[in-house]
Amino acid sequence: MKATVHVTLKPGVLDPQGQAIGHALSGLGFSGVTSVRMGKFLELDLAETDRAKAEAAVRAMCEKLLANTVIEAYRVEIGG
């Protein structure tokens, strides 16, 4: 079973990497980009075949390792 995880900075948390990308884009002539926020995207293949169990396992992985829940939010999608 496949799972995807989006890890994003919580609103209000400063994103220097996103800001740097925004500056680089305007330096390349792309005007009109008012904000860039950078996050992580993970694709996991799981041996688990039960959808609910898979989601619970991936959520536990996020809490323990994949996301820093003080400053980051995560979104789990289970599919396939």
- Least Å distance, CB 22 to a second copy, is 8
Q: Which is nearer to a second copy, 52 or 65 (CB)?
A: 65
Distance CA 80, CA 14 (A): 35
- Least Å distance, CB 36 to a second copy, is 5
Residues that bind a second copy (CB under 8 A): 6-8, 18, 21, 24-25, 28, 30-48, 57, 60-61, 64-66
Q: Which is nearer to a second copy, 27 or 70 (CB)?
A: 27
CA 73 from centre of chain: 8
